[in-house]
Homo-oligomer: A and B are copies of this chain.
Amino acid sequence: MPTVSWDPTGPFIKMIDQRLLPHEFRFLELHNLEELTVAIKTMAVRGAPALGAAAAYGLALVAMQSSAETVDSLRDELDAAATEIEQSRPTAVNMKWALERILKETGEKEILDPEDLRAEILAGAKAIAEEDVLTNRKMAAFGAALLPDPSLVIHHCNTGALATVDHGTALGVVRTAHEQGKQIHVLVDETRPRLQGARLTAWELQQAGIPFDIISDNAAGYFLASAEVDAVLVGADRVAANGDVANKIGTYMLALAANDNLVPFYCVAPTSTFDLACPTGELIPIEERDPKEVLDIVQDGHPVAPQDSTARNPAFDITPNRLVTAFITERGVLRPPFAENIRQILKTKE
């Protein structure tokens, strides 16, 4: 069951409501642009590739619902909608990538009837969602080949089926290695503050029958220093042209600990996550989210933080390229020098 899909009966976007997992598995139906941006901001859908597909379907929804009677006025509406969707979360580049790809492909065609443009937009969105699964399968195969058997891996955040249309990026590597019969055990970073690891990754692994232990993010360094960990696997929300990685908060410290113990640190990301327009990580905008996400934590029936406490809540950090062992993309494994190899691989068409 794909995480994000198009339901023609509404039409509406159908997605797994990730805010309710693991205690409840429920689908959400998004009927308009506003419902989509709320779903994105509140993280009912999250994960860079899943956001890309959601954004693409959002554009299709706008096209379907528009009352525009000319191609030009429909194009104007789509441009405005794309900007609105893109700005709903600033760090992951996949929404921008998906929206630009559809607008560019349809923009290059001479279309006279707005109905034809609507059909093209929907076809473009569907192509992005369908390609995502193939892309993930390819990355996973490249990545699985890098894991010894048996393997103990550390995984941060959620990069599984739930973060994509299906299968996953970093967690897709684990899934494929498991499918291949390799014995993989995952140390699941719980991933504060939103706990996507404990909440979503653990749930996916349990469903797939892959053994795991949840750890506090603080414990990753301890296990890396123990010399028992074979690899660290993470996804990415945006990779700069030089290989700096914006990813879920905590990735940078995890990469430092991997590096300090000579454990391979693999960033599993489709080429759609690479942003050649962004020379270095410093230029990637980092979203700071509601402090409540840090403060709303309950143990033993009581809120943990004292009343009136304040918090800071950056959602992502930048891992410098020097800490990345390799990028695993759908076109192959990239090793340093990254600036050159990223440029090369983005030029090649499959």
Contact = CB atoms under 8 A, between A and B. Distances in A.
B220 A253 contact: yes
A294 interface: yes
A214 B309 contact: yes
A279 interface: no
Which of A191, A218, A254, A302 has the most B CB atoms < 10 Å from its CB? A218
A303 to B, nearest CB: 7
A281 to B, nearest CB: 9
B310 A212 contact: yes
Interface string A205-241: 0100000111111111111010000000000000000
A98 interface: no
Contacts of A74: none
Contact of A215 (B187, B306, B312): B312
Number of copies: 2
A198 B302 CA distance: 12
A119 interface: no
A25 to B, nearest CB: 11
Interface stretch (A27-35, A88-96, A161-169, A313-321): A313-321
A317 to B, nearest CB: 4
A221 B187 contact: no
A221 B257 CA distance: 12
Contact of A311 (B213, B220, B249, B308): B213
